[in-house]
Amino acid sequence: MQSNKLLIIVDCDGVLTDYKCYYSPEGKLFKVFDSRDSYAIKNLHKLGVFLHILSSDVGSAKIIEARAAEWEVPVSVAKDKAVALRKILKKYPNKKVIYIGNGPEDLACIDLVDYFYAPIDSCSEVLNTDDEKVLILKRRGGEGILEEVQEQIQLEIR
């Protein structure tokens, strides 16, 4: 797999975060991101891998966009992930696509991608999918998923 021919589409909640919602006493929502993913994103950028975050969490769009801006990764937020993914794929023609998701709404994208990766703590619909594209990762969501994926990619391109 050539890294400059690779696009990684990553869900946010349950993949980049632990799926928990944290609230301040004033009622402000917070999400926790693993710093290992920040390091992995830098390494993936150096390898020439393209990344794009795709989330259906409209209510958390500002939080996701703020974190993605620090990573210099584009974000799409849409209720219908398959429709949004088709639009994203038009921007990245001729790329192998890895999709990283954990929920039933992510399974709608499986036929549009080359590989589908899922954290070990994904929902049962994802974990029990018998599609050969699905690879269950060793880590839980929010625990450096992109670091694990980056390590796999580096092994494949060597």
Tokens 């349950």 belong to: 14
Q: Domain 3-157 belongs to what topology?
A: Rossmann fold (3.40.50)
Run of H or E including 90: helix 81-91
| Annotated domain spans of the chain | 3-157
Burial class of residue 95, CB neighbours in 10 A (0-12, 13-18, 19+) = middle
- Is pLDDT at 2 greater than 70 in this prediction? no
pLDDT in tens, 51-91: 999 999 988 899 999 999 999 999 999 999 999 999 999 99
Stated pTM of the model: 0.94
Q: CA–CA separation, 158 vs 155, rounded Å?
A: 6
| CA atoms in the 13 A half-sphere facing the CB of 47 | 26
pLDDT at position 155 is: 82
DSSP SS3 for 42: helix
